[in-house]
Structure 1
Amino acid sequence: MEVQYPDHRRPFYLSVVVKDVQVRRALVDTGSCLNLIPLSTLQAANVPQQKIQGSPMEVTGFGGVTEYTMGHVQLVLRVRPIVALTRFHVVNAEAPYHVLLGRPWLHKHKFVSSTYHQCVKGRLNGKPICIAANSSPFDQTEAHFVEATLYDDLSSTGDPPIVKPCGTPLPDWEDIKDDPEVDLRELLE
């Protein structure tokens, strides 16, 4: 019998708790050498900006875009059975994730992530654990995110995301496909 795995093309989001606030989109990114948290997520979790310490640091994101962090903050992060104080670098930028968990978080807990299997695996108290990805990190009000198209199920709007949706809503293809005047680059600017 063949085992069915989740769609491995999906971004790998975990459901986590940051300072007693449920967060549906914690992106696991093995390419990141930092754990990041947008300022909007900190505000939604009622973390005062005075808690941000250290000096700004230059970070380069996807596509070579460079920006500066506001500093870092230590927060209690719960990912299913794992509860630990975690350092996040704070960015004042819009992002499709609410928290980004990079290699520091994975290495601290000796986890191995698998985007193919959509889970992280490791050991807790000598016993193997497997933490599965959140299968519905977006709700109906966030269906405009490009990432949301990779998910079959959207969560009910009764479960609000930690922050308000952000992004560029795009028109339906049927509405613009025959219009020679439409340039999608203009819509994104």
Structure 2
Amino acid sequence: MMMTIRIGGYDVKRVLVDDGSGAEIMYPNLFNGLKLKDEDLEKSDSPLVAFNGKQVIPRGMIRLPVQVEDAEVQVNFIVVRAYSPYTAILARPWLHAMEAVSSTLQVMVKYPIQGRVGILHSSQSVARQCLMSASIRTGQGSSTGVTTKAL
């Protein structure tokens, strides 16, 4: 599900919320857009597997606040040097920290906040644009982003 979410104090578009992934990923566009530097990264040498099956070595890891309404949690993003139509992937650790539930059927994420239920809606048009961008780039109809399956 494609969302706009506040990361590091900025509203970030094209964030993929993936309840099937086990780690949060940050791609170069977001890393550079937040004006982060390699010196800001902690060491992370656990390789990941890209959607195309190739191994990706992380640049490092960075901890940033992720905010939805008044709910804020600290997230450890693994920063990679890989093309993706997404700016970041938020996964199960973020969903668990938010006590959130994602629904692909309803295309939304629900989470408790201040005694009520908050709702994040996915943008289907942005998701479609990302899919088209990945299809054009790879010529195969699949993304070359990174999965969170550690080797």
Q: TM-score, normalised by structure 1?
A: 0.64
Q: Please tell me the root mean square deviation across aligned C-alpha atoms, in Å.
A: 2.6
SS at match of 1:89: strand
CA contact (8 A) 1:57 1:71 kept: no
> Quick one: higher RCO (CA 8 Å, sep 6+), 1 or 2?
2
Describe the superposition over 1:19-67 as per-residue Cα deviations: whole angstroms up to 9, x where unpaired.
2322111101111110000133111111122111023211123243321
User: 5 Å matches for 1:59-138?
Assistant: 59-137=48-126
Counterpart check, 1:35 vs 2:24: yes
Structure 1 moving runs of 4+ over 4 Å:
none
Does the Cα contact within 8 Å between 2:73 and 2:98 map onto a contact in 1? no
User: One-letter code of the match for 2:14?
Assistant: R
Q: Which position in structure 2 is the counterpart of 1:22?
A: 11
Q: Which has the higher strand share?
A: 2
Shift, 1:115, TM fit: 1.3
Which amino acid in 1 is paired with 2:131? E
Count of aligned residue pairs for this structure pair = 140
Q: How many Å separate the matches in 2 of 1:167 and 1:22? A: 26
Unaligned runs of 5+ in 2: 141-151
Q: CA separation of 1:169/1:86 partners in 2, compared to 1, >3 Å: closer, same or farther?
A: closer
Task: Return the offset for 1:146.
Answer: 5.8
Q: Is the 8 A contact 1:29 1:100 kept in 2?
A: yes
- C-alpha distance after superposition, 1:62-101 (max 9, x if no partner): 2433211122101122234422221101011010110100
Kept in 2, the 8 Å contact 1:16–1:26? The answer is yes
Report the TM-score when normalising by structure 2: 0.79
- Max Rg structure: 1
State the distance in 2 between where 1:146 and 1:126 align: 35
**Aligned equivalents of 2:70 and 2:23: distance in 1?**
22
Q: For structure 1, list consecutive stretches of 5 or more residues without a partner in the other structure.
A: 1-11, 149-164, 171-183
